Amino acid sequence: MNRRDFLMYSAAAAAASSVPSLAFGEVYVPGMEVLTPAFDRARARGKALLCLLVTDDEAERWKRGGAFGDMLLISDDTTMAELAQVEVVCAGEREVRSYTDWLDWNDGCLMALIETAEGEPSQPCSSASLPSPLIPHDYEGDAVPAGHTYAEVRARRMGSLVHQAVARNDDMVKRRATQCIQAVGKGAAQSVIRAVEKGRSISPERVDKVAPILAWHAVSATDEVRERILRLLANSARNRMVHHAPEGSKWIIPATEGDAARPGPSGAVPYLSFDGEKA
């Protein structure tokens, strides 16, 4: 599907989404009304778009969402620095597949990374498939490695999937940096790089805007500067994602004894729910 067909499909999907989502007893799954703005936002910011695939299976949505939430809370700086380089959206599997029809999909795919640069409708695209099973909710016997918690194991596996999709090779890192420079301008890019080199304080919001550029700069930087960039990128991703649920999802507050899990405010413990009634 090319960009023109994508926009036409998006308009039709947006019109259809005006029907109340529960009119036919169906659970809302975010579609083109979420995917289209996310793609445009990623392109405008010079970033790739990481799509977390929302399935029709309710139990699977909660399992995937919980694992992603664990990753955001527990993962090390390397995983979070990779997330800083992309925009993240949760969208229906069918819609994402329709836009990446050149991609050789694997069964059990959890996420797909779409490159968004102008002028290349068939961008190289990557996907990451789930371990089989992803992470069962109930471990038996010695399924959890000694010295590790259930959440840590889920977070580590999810982090490996992010790495599989995002961190492809130095050439792709360079291409994304070039795209980001075109979006933010050379002046802004050089200003942040100078600040990093001199060890100055930089706000997470400012780092987020030039994350692909910093990732490319880290490739040839000294060990000290590389470590500094890693920490800056990781903190910017946590600032953006732990306090604000990605488009197409919501944070929930885990249930306490006698209570049901309920939608939570920004900053709640981020077990990620991929399902819910559309507002």
CA angle in degrees (0–180, nearest 5) for 93-108-66:
80
Report which residue type is found at 109: C
CA angle in degrees (0–180, nearest 5) for 245-248-249:
45
pLDDT in tens, 178-199: 999 999 999 999 999 999 999 9
Tell me what pLDDT residue 7 has: 37
- Read off the tokens for 56: 């029709």
Full-model pTM: 0.79
pLDDT in tens, 104-137: 666 678 888 888 887 654 455 777 776 655 554 4
**Residues 273/252, Cβ–Cβ less than 8 Å:** yes
Q: What is the largest CA-CA distance in the chain?
A: 59
Show Cβ contacts of residue 222 under 8 Å, excluding neighbours closer than 6 positions: none
